[in-house]
Amino acid sequence: MVKIAIYPPNSLILADLLERKGHTPLVLQKQIRQKIKDPEIDSPPMNITEEDPIKGLKYAAIEVPSGVRGRMAIIGPLIDEAEAAIVVDGAPYGFGCIGCARTNELSIFLLRNKDIPVLELTYPTNQDETYAMVNEINEFVDSLEETDKEEE
């Protein structure tokens, strides 16, 4: 079982594909769930408080807007934890999105610069491309399993 970061980090489709293969997708929803299950809701709707953009300073400097640092406070730890990553470029909002282009740039850069296998794909525009994308993801994930076994 490999911990795989996905981008967009809240893509239900990508998360589902990985779970079916028995891997752990590192998704935004789990991070947010941890925050909001706290009985003390300080800042609805997502319970991100002033402290989070400050935690985000680990990933981006103070001159970076608070919205980017707030997002990085949630996405950054997922990137830190990742053993592999799948990045889908050009996806529509419905596929998953965190709303901020600067956060996308920084997150994808951090994933590329981490010494882990990264699969980069372009969002499909027709059925054939969709099949091809799913196959590529499956092959990538299988290759991770093999590496995993070899290491064991």
Going by C-alpha positions, the residue among 134, 120, 68, 118 that lies closest to residue 90 is 120
Tell me if 48 contacts other proteins by CB under 8 A: yes
Q: Which of 29, 34, 66, 135 binds other proteins (CB under 8 A)?
A: 66
What whole-number distance in Å separates Cα of residue 60 and Cα of residue 53?
10
The distance of closest approach from Cβ of residue 14 to other proteins in the complex, given in angstroms and rounded to an integer, is: 17
Q: Look at residue 111 and give its three-state secondary structure.
A: helix
Interface mask toward other proteins for 100-129; x: CB under 8 A: xxx---------------------------
Of residues 93 and 126, the one with the C-beta less far from other proteins: 93
What whole-number distance in Å separates Cα of residue 24 and Cα of residue 3?
5
Going by C-alpha positions, the residue among 114, 125, 118 that lies closest to residue 90 is 125
Of residues 54 and 116, the one with the C-beta less far from other proteins: 54
The residues binding other proteins (CB under 8 A) are 42-46, 48-54, 63-71, 92-94, 97, 99-102
